[in-house]
Amino acid sequence: MSLQTLLGTDLPLIQAPMAGVQDSALALAVCRAGGLGSLPCAMLDATALQREVTALRAGTDRPWNLNFFCHRDPPPPDAAAQQKWLDALAPYYRELGLDLTEARTAGPSRAPFSHAVADRLEGVRPPVVSFHFGLPEPDLLARVKRWGSVVLSSATTVDEALWLEAHGADVIIAQGLEAGGHRGHFLDGDVSTQMGTFALLPQVVRAVRCPVVAAGGIADAAGVAAARALGAAGVQVGTAYLLCPEARISVVHRRALCSDAARHTALTAVFSGRPARGIVNRLMRELGLLNSAALPFPLAGAAVAPLRTKAESLGSGDFSPLWCGQNAGTCSERPAGEVTLALAEAWRRDALAP
Ligand SMILES: Cc1cc2nc3c(=O)[nH]c(=O)nc-3n(C[C@H](O)[C@H](O)[C@H](O)COP(=O)(O)O)c2cc1C
């Protein structure tokens, strides 16, 4: 069965869910163009989730995707670990005139998918649900499956792809090292196990039977055609949508994306506690990319948040996570529907051929 048939879309093109930089507006624009629009839910509280899901249901009769993180909550860090992280950030608090006691409680958190969230979605029955960082516990996943939702999850290695298929994923997203945002790895935290998209993709395609979607560094029709040639059933694209008018990126993120700075991205754990790819900025340069003092995901972010807020109010992105893939060169301010159709050209040409 083709990916389009499985998802119920016209195009085998998924707009990557991107927490913190988009809401239902971007997802709707992509759905209307025939792709699969995604709503990132990891940072939404109950009210926001309901509002955004209502907007999706009202805005289109085409399928859409709800995306959740499914990390396991880490044990509360001990006082020494907390202090170590605060010590690393203390000079920046002093520089920006902030009170270090704010660091303990402030900031956004990312909650894993839970039975409480599933309760809220019981009547919604989302057409597609995608997960990052593996899959939820079997009983929770079974609830999602009973809704009839198609289940997607990201694999960053062949082992993860095999695990996801064995544990119930219907579609595997092969997330290459080029991808912007958080690495979806969940079996092995060693980033040296991670591969670029066009090394990972054909190996995953050979290893599993379910459809494989390529993600990471794909930003134009030629990239889509290359993924297709390597066996992808479709593509998931994030960074190429970041400058669309329907996205909600911050002023500092937009400025960085439009500048030469976007040519230098790296993996860093300093913003959340897990490796994620973003445009290199001051905090990444000065603390080191994978600083061992950073608290485990998602706790590191709370102490960085006040720095980010203050710096952004002064027009600086020095302390902001500027998530971005390695191929931001084609980012443009075109409407998301146009970006979707341009990306899907390789598939559309075939569909239109006599
Ligand atoms: C700004 C940004 C935020 C992201 N947030 C999420 C997220 O909330 N959930 C998720 O599954 N993936 C997230 N990702 C990763 C994407 O799913 C996908 O792997 C990536 O965008 C593909 O690479 P590309 O950005 O080079 O197109 C994010 C990516 C970016 C750029």
Handedness of CA 280, 286, 290, 296 (dihedral sign): negative
pLDDT at 186: 97
| Phi (first) and psi of residue 41, to 5 degrees | -110, -5
Q: Categorise residue 97: left if φ over 0, alpha if ψ from -120 to 50, beta otherwise.
A: left
Token pair in block for residue 233: 């059933």
Task: Give the residue, by CA position, lying nearest to ligand 1 atom 3.
Answer: 18
> 151 in helix, strand or coil?
strand
Task: Give the residue, by CA position, lying nearest to ligand 1 atom 13.
Answer: 18
181 CA to centre of ligand 1 in angstroms: 5
Residues ≥6 apart with Cβ < 8 Å to 62: 8, 9, 31, 32, 34
Q: How far apart are CA 171 and CA 246, in angstroms?
A: 27
- Ligand 1 atom closest to Cα of 325? 26
Strand order in the sheet with 276-279: 181-182, 276-279, 265-268
Q: How confident is the model over 142-181, as pLDDT tens digits?
A: 999 999 999 999 999 999 999 999 999 999 999 999 999 9
101 CA to centre of ligand 1 in angstroms: 32
pLDDT at 133: 97
Q: Name residues contacting ligand 1 (CB within 6 A).
A: 16-19, 21, 40, 42, 67, 132, 175, 178-182, 215-218, 236-239, 323-325, 327
Q: Write down the residue that tokens 């064995």 correspond to.
A: 166
Strand partners, 66: 39, 129
pLDDT at 317: 98
Token pair in block for residue 225: 């055609």
pLDDT at 288: 83
pLDDT at 351: 58
Residues of the chain with pLDDT under 70: 104-108, 349-354
Tell me if 213 sits within 8 A of 14, measured CB to CB: yes
State the pTM of this model.
0.96
Q: How far apart are CA 288 and CA 319, in angstroms?
A: 13
236 CA to centre of ligand 1 in angstroms: 9
Residues ≥6 apart with Cβ < 8 Å to 58: none
179 CA to centre of ligand 1 in angstroms: 7
Q: How far apart are CA 225 and CA 166, in angstroms?
A: 29
Task: Give the residue, by CA position, lying nearest to ligand 1 atom 16.
Answer: 16
229 CA to centre of ligand 1 in angstroms: 23
Return the biggest CA–CA distance within the chain. Answer: 68
Strand partners, 129: 66, 151
Residues ≥6 apart with Cβ < 8 Å to 250: 21, 312, 317, 320
Task: Give the residue, by CA position, lying nearest to ligand 1 atom 29.
Answer: 181
pLDDT at 104: 64
What's the CA angle centered on 289, arms 284 and 291, to 5 degrees?
A: 105
242 CA to centre of ligand 1 in angstroms: 10
Tell me if 65 sits within 8 A of 51, measured CB to CB: no
Token pair in block for residue 105: 């409680």
Tell me if 319 sits within 8 A of 311, measured CB to CB: yes
**38, 153, 182: which to mutate for ligand 1, most atoms within 8 A of CB?**
182
Task: Give the residue, by CA position, lying nearest to ligand 1 atom 15.
Answer: 181
Q: Write down the residue that tokens 């079974």 correspond to.
A: 142
